[in-house]
């Protein structure tokens, strides 16, 4: 194919996952009025803990079942300032339970851990491993090393059969950059494979900004409903955006089944306040992690996010500093020459191609063409200048797939798949254009991305793809994308060229 297709799904991205109104069965949920501390909603399985149905628990004081002093103290300390959930331990119905407390306007959500599924390993007995994992991540000096250390150490801590980490591209497709798995026939190898954006649709990505992780201990769980269905404080379904117990969309459970995965867990990797990637854990049989161990994993994912951010900042700083140094030297060279085009294009060791990381540069100034490096022929260049004029391009023009918007570029894709045009004087057709050659890219998809979503005849119900076997796709007529730092340098050069030409007019 030509340019890489965008596989983000508007349909999947519009489904309200946070208002699913059921929870997974590995815990209990209580919703309490902030002022009266009366129970206003409860998961129907609360009967296991309190020996009475949810309908009898609702509209009764929480103090009937638990000492509310601890909750009041938490409310006074965190209620108005902390937007994240707060861990706590309570005795409810005579049983000691771990809880996550969420303070919302008008009500409090209590996520309660089932004592029967309490952890095999607590924070105390994994502390040494945690310290080692954090130290190993801090010592890693590349994105690849950080990612591999992270999945290896998390697998030791959690015991999942397989863990992989993938990074999102600008179109939200995720490519696996690290993997650690048990050598077994049950799990596929996905290293280097790319998963289409629709696998983690927009609204699911947004939920990861609210919730550091997502745990599904058993895909065959029986959903537990809330009673009553409508939250009396909001008169709508309750928003479970940041609740770990939140139920799971049927299509995702089918997705896990098609992957031959019984249990899954995923952690976010954040950079610049945005979702940069995910760490995905898979198990062939049901697997539960305690609230405590989940918190340990959340801590490690934060360490991973911070380390990756540090590395990316360093790489970007060094890249931008190198570009600025080249730009400064090039400008000095132009002044030394006393001639704009001679200074920009003639020097073999430093010219505009080096500054813009281009394969060739052409300048159309006052009706004359000047070229350096690999550029299309003069007829093409003259026509492209006319095309830029017809499009009224008086600001920087950037494309990494020129033939998709300018048909005449297709025969020259080998040297001009990408273009960056700097308007000097668009009215007179004065432009400087940098070209980039084609970079053929073979994408190893985890299953055919064109079959990622399969609708039933009714056009409403749909299913995920049933195969994750390698499906390769080669992308043509596309160059390396222009980085924002390079575009910034091009803007600077445009200002310089304008000032130089104006001063020397």
Q: How much is the pLDDT for 329?
A: 95
Residue whose tokens read 């949810």: 54
CA angle 419, 313, 401 (to 5 degrees): 15
Q: How much is the pLDDT for 14?
A: 45
What residues have CB less than 8 Å from 111, skipping those under 6 apart?
Answer: 27, 28, 29, 85, 99, 100, 101, 102, 243, 244, 245
Evaluate whether residue 450 is within a structural domain: no
- List C-alpha distances in Å: 108 to 38, 65, 105, 111, 241: 10, 16, 8, 10, 14
DSSP secondary structure, 37-62, as one string: -BEEEEEGGGHHHHSS-HHHHTTSBG
Question: Is 39:58 a contact under the CB 8 Å cutoff?
Answer: yes
Distance CA 491, CA 316 (A): 18
331 and 210 co-located in one domain: yes
62 and 209 co-located in one domain: no
Distance CA 397, CA 419 (A): 8
Distance CA 126, CA 110 (A): 26
Query: What string of pLDDT tens digits covers the 505 residues of the chain?
Result: 555 566 555 544 444 555 678 999 999 999 999 999 999 999 999 999 999 999 999 999 999 999 888 888 888 877 666 667 888 888 998 899 999 999 998 899 999 999 866 555 555 667 788 888 999 999 999 999 999 999 999 999 999 999 999 999 999 999 999 999 988 767 888 999 998 888 888 988 999 998 899 999 999 999 999 999 999 998 999 999 889 999 998 888 998 998 899 999 999 999 999 999 999 999 999 999 988 889 889 999 999 999 999 999 999 999 999 999 999 999 999 999 888 888 899 877 899 999 999 999 999 988 889 999 999 999 999 999 999 999 988 899 999 999 999 999 999 999 999 999 999 988 888 999 999 999 887 777 776 666 655 555 655 555 565 656 666 767 788 999 999 999 999 999 999 988 888 777 5
Evaluate whether residue 367 is within a structural domain: yes
Distance CA 84, CA 244 (A): 12
Distance CA 271, CA 293 (A): 24
Residue 236 DSSP label: B
320 and 367 co-located in one domain: no
Evaluate whether residue 446 is within a structural domain: no
184 and 153 co-located in one domain: yes
Question: Is 324:316 a contact under the CB 8 Å cutoff?
Answer: no
Within 211-368, residue ranges assigned H as helices are 250-258, 291-337, 340-341, 352-356
308 and 248 co-located in one domain: yes
Of the candidates 492, 441, 460, 504, which has an alpha carbon nearest to the alpha carbon of residue 11? Answer: 460
- List C-alpha distances in Å: 27 to 45, 48, 224, 243: 8, 10, 10, 11
Residue whose tokens read 């049933």: 466
Evaluate whether residue 299 is within a structural domain: yes
Distance CA 325, CA 343 (A): 16
Evaluate whether residue 234 is within a structural domain: no
CA angle 276, 279, 280 (to 5 degrees): 130
Distance CA 226, CA 41 (A): 7
294 and 152 co-located in one domain: yes
What residues have CB less than 8 Å from 35, skipping those under 6 apart?
Answer: none
Indicate the number of domains in the chain. Answer: 3
Q: How much is the pLDDT for 121?
A: 58
162 and 75 co-located in one domain: no
162 and 271 co-located in one domain: yes
Distance CA 157, CA 121 (A): 9
3-state secondary structure of 282: strand
**Which pair of structure tokens corresponds to residue 311?**
């590395």
267 and 308 co-located in one domain: yes
257 and 387 co-located in one domain: no
CA angle 308, 273, 302 (to 5 degrees): 45
What residues have CB less than 8 Å from 228, skipping those under 6 apart?
Answer: 41, 58
What is the value of pTM for the model shown? 0.84
- The CATH number that applies at residue 393 is 3.30.450.270
Distance CA 234, CA 249 (A): 23
Range of the domain at 424: 349-440+477-503
Q: How much is the pLDDT for 15?
A: 47
Question: Is 493:422 a contact under the CB 8 Å cutoff?
Answer: yes
Evaluate whether residue 101 is within a structural domain: no
- The CATH number that applies at residue 59 is 3.30.450.20
Within 143-201, residue ranges assigned H as helices are 143-158
3-state secondary structure of 431: strand
**Which pair of structure tokens corresponds to residue 222?**
């029986």
3-state secondary structure of 394: coil
Evaluate whether residue 313 is within a structural domain: yes
Question: Is 430:437 a contact under the CB 8 Å cutoff?
Answer: no
**Which pair of structure tokens corresponds to residue 15?**
């489904």
316 and 361 co-located in one domain: no
Of the candidates 88, 27, 87, 32, which has an alpha carbon nearest to the alpha carbon of residue 62? Answer: 32
CB half-sphere exposure, 32, CA atoms < 13 A: 26
**Which pair of structure tokens corresponds to residue 483?**
């980085």
324 and 355 co-located in one domain: no
Evaluate whether residue 102 is within a structural domain: no
- The CATH number that applies at residue 262 is 3.30.450.40
Q: Give the long-range contacts of residues 259-262, CB within 8 A, separation 24 or more.
A: 259/188, 259/468, 260/186, 260/187, 260/188, 260/284, 261/187, 261/219, 262/218, 262/219, 262/220, 262/286, 262/287
Whether residue 228 is preceded by a cis peptide bond, meaning omega within 30 degrees of 0, is yes
Question: Is 1:448 a contact under the CB 8 Å cutoff?
Answer: no
């Amino acid at each position: 194919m030509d340019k890489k297709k965008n596989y983000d799904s508007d349909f999947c991205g519009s489904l309200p996952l946070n208002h699913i109104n059921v929870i997974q069965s590995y815990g209990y949920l209580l919703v309490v009025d902030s002022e009266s501390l009366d129970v206003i909603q409860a998961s129907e399985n609360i009967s296991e803990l309190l020996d009475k149905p949810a309908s009898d628990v609702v509209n009764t004081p929480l103090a009937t079942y638990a000492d509310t002093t601890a909750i009041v103290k938490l409310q006074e300390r965190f209620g108005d300032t902390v937007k994240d959930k707060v861990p706590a331990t309570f005795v409810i119905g005579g049983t000691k339970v771990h809880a996550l407390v969420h303070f919302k306007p008008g009500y409090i959500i209590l996520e309660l851990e089932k004592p029967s599924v309490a952890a095999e390993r607590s924070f105390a007995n994994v502390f040494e491993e945690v310290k080692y994992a954090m130290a190993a991540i801090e010592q890693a000096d590349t994105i690849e090393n950080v990612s591999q250390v992270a999945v290896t150490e998390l697998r030791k801590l959690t015991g999942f059969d397989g863990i992989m980490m993938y990074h999102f591209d600008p179109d939200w497709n995720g490519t696996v950059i690290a993997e650690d798995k048990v050598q077994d026939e049950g799990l596929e190898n996905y290293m280097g494979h790319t998963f289409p954006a629709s696998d983690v649709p927009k609204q699911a990505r947004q939920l990861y900004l609210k919730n550091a992780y997502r745990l599904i201990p058993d895909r065959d769980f029986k959903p537990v409903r809330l009673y009553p269905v409508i939250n009396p404080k909001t008169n709508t379904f309750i928003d479970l955006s940041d609740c770990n117990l939140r139920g799971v969309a049927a299509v995702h459970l089918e997705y896990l089944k098609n992957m031959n995965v019984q249990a899954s867990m995923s952690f976010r990797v954040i950079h610049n306040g945005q979702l940069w990637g995910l760490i995905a854990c898979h198990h062939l049989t049901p697997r539960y992690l305690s609230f405590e161990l989940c918190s340990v994993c959340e801590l490690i994912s934060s360490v991973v996010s911070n380390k990756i951010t540090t590395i990316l900042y360093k790489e970007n700083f060094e890249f931008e500093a190198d570009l600025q140094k080249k730009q400064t030297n090039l400008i000095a060279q132009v002044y030394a020459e006393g001639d704009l085009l001679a200074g920009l294009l003639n020097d073999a060791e430093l010219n505009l191609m080096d500054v813009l990381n281009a394969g060739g540069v052409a300048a159309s100034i006052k009706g004359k063409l000047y070229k350096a490096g690999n550029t299309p022929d003069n007829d093409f260049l003259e026509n492209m200048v006319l095309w830029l004029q017809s499009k009224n391009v008086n600001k920087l023009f950037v494309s990494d797939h020129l033939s998709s918007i300018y048909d005449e570029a297709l025969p020259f894709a080998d040297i001009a798949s990408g273009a960056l045009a700097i308007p000097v004087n668009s009215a007179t057709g004065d432009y400087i254009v940098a070209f980039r050659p084609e970079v053929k890219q073979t994408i190893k998809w985890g299953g055919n991305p064109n079959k990622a979503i399969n609708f039933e005849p009714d056009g409403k119900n749909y299913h995920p793809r049933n195969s994750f076997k390698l499906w390769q796709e080669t992308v043509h007529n596309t160059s390396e994308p222009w980085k924002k730092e390079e575009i910034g340098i091009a803007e600077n050069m445009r200002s310089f060229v304008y000032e130089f030409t104006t001063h020397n007019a």
